[in-house]
Each structure stands twice: as C-alpha cells, then as structure tokens.
Chains A and B, each alone.
Chain A
C-alpha cells in the first residue's frame, strides 16, 4: 500500500459519497407506481399509493413470483430461485431502485406518476 493507493482510496470514497448525495437530493414525493416486467415485457402495474397491505402474483420463468406492497413500498415475498436474492433485498420505494430477479426474468421498476403524465 503506497501513497498513490491511498490517493485512489480517497478519490473512490469521495465519488461514492457524491453518488449517495445525488440520490438523496433527487428523491421526489410524487405518488409512485411499480411496473413489473417479465422478459422485458410489461406484465403488471401496481399503484403504490395504497397504504394497506396487498399481494400480487406474476408467473416468472421458474414459477410464481409473489409481490407484497405496503405504504408506498414493494418487495418480492416469495419466488423460486437458487439464491433468493430478490426476496432478500426487501422493500424498495424510490424511483432509482429496482428489484431484479434474473432466474425468473422478472424486473420491478418504480416510476413516479408525474413521468407517466408527461408521457400522456
């Protein structure tokens, strides 16, 4: 570990802190929807403005994938995959966050309702 390595460590730390800052500042408070894709095709849109708990099911590549929404957040509750990475990820709620389940070819993206208004 020489001086140049320490410089590199400091630069990387600085960039990552800048990145965290950027996401923190870019949070918006518009109501959001979750869009579920299977094999790059949109299969389900879920309104996240509902406060109480709801469950949704989509058929993935390895069987059924169950989503749970609660107070503006969404998570994968159960799915069939070797490592269960996407159900371990837990709730997501911000528009830059995604849940990706490659074995099931399922992607969940969060979109702000204002984006959809702009498209219409």
Chain B
C-alpha cells in the first residue's frame, strides 16, 4: 500500500514537472532575446525541469520527461513530425544522455552539467541538420559554445534551487 502511494506521488510530481517544462518553453518563445544575433537561439528554460528531474529521480525519468516534452511542445507549437520537431527531439535526446553521462563520470556541479546540456542540445541539432538536411551549420559552433555559457549557468542555477526546494519541502 505504501509503495503504491509513493509511486502515485512520483507520477503526479513528474506530471507537474512536465507541465512546468511545457509552459516554460511556451514562455520562452515570447522572449525575443538574441533573436537578431543567432537565428533560432533560445535560453533553454525548459531544460531546467529535465535537469531537476535528472537529479531527483535519475536518468530514466529525465529521458521520458524530455521526450514527452518534445512531443507536447510539438503538438502545441510547431506541429508534430515537422522539421523543427526532429531538431528538438535529437537535441533533447543527446543532451539528456550526455548530462547523465557527465554527471556520472565527472565531478562537475549541477551548473557545469547544465552547460554540458546546453552545448549538447545545440550539437544534437547541428548533427541532425548535417546528416538529414544536408545543411552545413558547423559555422554556428563557436557562437553556440559562447552563448551556451550564460544560458547554461542561468538554467543550472535555477535547477539547483528547484532541487534544493524539493529536498526541503517534498521529501516526506
């Protein structure tokens, strides 16, 4: 009975994290930051929730959350199975896998992991652009690395706060 209760709590919390991440990525499109400098550059606010879930529940749940987020945002904003959908799918998969890997093998804190996530999200998109759409986007790489630093630090700071808050308030 107790086990069932905990499972239910976890499911509800994960659903809330998912809802937050979808809302954050909708809000993000309203912020026209950096729009002129690099086309398509975003802060990646939704990654904050994926990162928090990675620290609270582990890789498996973070991966599921990431995939579901991409599908939901795809339905709500860009359209399912459009080009942009595959771009964000590949970016999300690569970033979650690499964040989990770097968390295991390096002594980086959550902020460093967040920078890794920001970089690998963009790299996943570049890889799919080169492989499937034949677009040479490697020229963006230095810009992406540079802009991943502030956005990664920002997102990492917020996820740290979320994880701290979660451990303080919701552990019972």
Residues of A within 8 A of B (CB): 1-2, 4-5, 8-9, 12-13, 15-20, 23, 40, 83, 85-86, 88-90, 96-98, 100, 102, 107, 109
Check A4/B107 contact, CB under 8 A, given A12-B145, A19-B145. yes
Assess whether B115 is in contact with A12, with CB atoms less than 8 Å apart: yes
Chain B, range 122-158, C-beta contacts under 8 Å to A: 129, 133-139, 141-143, 145-146, 148-149, 153
Q: CA A92 – CA B101 in complex, angstroms?
A: 38
Verify B142–A23 contact, CB threshold 8 A. Answer: yes
Nearest CB of chain B from residue A44's CB, rounded to whole Å: 17
Show 25 residue pairs from A and B whose CB-CB distance is below 8 angstroms, ordered by the A residue.
A1-B109, A1-B111, A1-B153, A2-B108, A2-B112, A4-B108, A5-B108, A5-B111, A9-B115, A9-B149, A12-B148, A13-B146, A13-B149, A15-B142, A16-B145, A16-B146, A18-B142, A19-B142, A23-B139, A40-B133, A85-B39, A86-B39, A96-B136, A98-B135, A100-B39
- Which of B40, B135, B145 contacts A107, CB < 8 Å? B135
Q: Given the complex of chains A and B, what is the CA–CA distance between A7 and B107 in angstroms?
A: 11
Residues of B within 8 A of A1 (CB): 109, 111, 153
Give every chain A residue within 8 A of B145 (Cβ-Cβ).
12-13, 15-16, 19
Asked if A20 meets B149 with Cβ closer than 8 Å, knowing A89-B39, A109-B136, the reply is no
Which residues of chain A have C-beta atoms less than 8 A from B146's C-beta?
12-13, 16
B41: nearest residue on chain A (CB-CB)? A85
Q: Which of B39, B40, B106, B111 has the largest number of chain A CB atoms within 10 A?
A: B39
The residue on B at minimum CB distance from A89 is B39
Majority SS at the chain B contact face: helix
Quick check: A100 and B137 within 8 Å, CB to CB? yes
B119 within 8 A of A: yes
Shortest Cβ gap from A62 to chain B (Å): 13
Asked if A40 and B139 sit within 8 Å, CB to CB, the answer is: no
Instruction: Give 6 nearest A-B pairs by CB, closest first.
Output: A19-B142, A16-B145, A5-B112, A85-B39, A96-B139, A16-B142
- Which residues of chain A are near B111, meaning CB under 8 Å? 1, 5
Decide if B3 is an interface residue (CB 8 Å cutoff).
no
Other A-B pairs, 15, CB within 8 Å; known A4-B107, A12-B145, A13-B146 = A2-B112, A5-B109, A8-B112, A8-B116, A12-B115, A13-B145, A15-B145, A16-B146, A18-B142, A96-B138, A97-B139, A98-B137, A100-B39, A100-B129, A100-B137
Asked if B35 CB lies within 8 Å of chain A CBs, one says: yes
